[in-house]
């Protein structure tokens, strides 16, 4: 077996829980965005959690709508 070298080789691609990587992504996007927009930086942690929660909610909402569409289309055809 060839040794895995971090930052050089890609992580194992067969991992089924890849979508969990969206959680740190949304957290970091929210952190950077709120660090830019908040005048009072003590507000950043709370606003980051709220914004990343909204982002994840939007992701879940989109996934639910697409899943429902898929179920409807599968039943029709």
Partner 1 sequence: MNDTKRPVSPFVAMIASILVPGLGYWLIGERKRAFTAGGGIILLFVMGILIAGIRVISLPGYEDGYRKYVEGHVDINRRIVTVATTQPAVAVMKTGKTNGSGWPIFAVQRLGANGEPYSIETDQPPIGPSEWVMLQSPMAQLGDNISFLGQIFNGPLCAVAGYLSNAAARADVPKGYSRLADIGALYTAISGMLNLMLIVDAASRAGHAAGAPGAGGSA
Residues in contact with partner 1 by CB under 8 A are 6-15, 18, 21-22, 24-25, 28-29, 31-41, 43-44, 47
Q: How far is the CB of 51 from partner 1 (least distance, A)?
A: 11
Q: How far is the CB of 13 from partner 1 (least distance, A)?
A: 2
Structure token pair of residue 64: 């639910």
In the complex with partner 1, which residue's Cβ is closer, 1 or 6?
6
Distance CA 10, CA 5 (A): 9
In the complex with partner 1, which residue's Cβ is closer, 38 or 49?
38
Q: How many CB atoms lie within 10 A of CB 52?
A: 22
Which of 53, 15, 11 lies closest to 31, judged by CA? 53
């Amino acid at each position: 077996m060839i040794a895995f070298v971090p930052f050089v080789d890609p992580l194992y691609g067969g991992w089924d829980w890849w979508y969990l990587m969206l959680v740190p992504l949304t957290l970091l996007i929210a952190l950077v965005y709120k660090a830019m927009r908040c005048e009072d930086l003590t507000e950043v942690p709370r606003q980051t959690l709220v914004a990343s929660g909204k982002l994840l909610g939007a992701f879940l909402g989109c996934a639910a709508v697409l899943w429902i569409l898929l179920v409807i289309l599968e039943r029709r055809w």
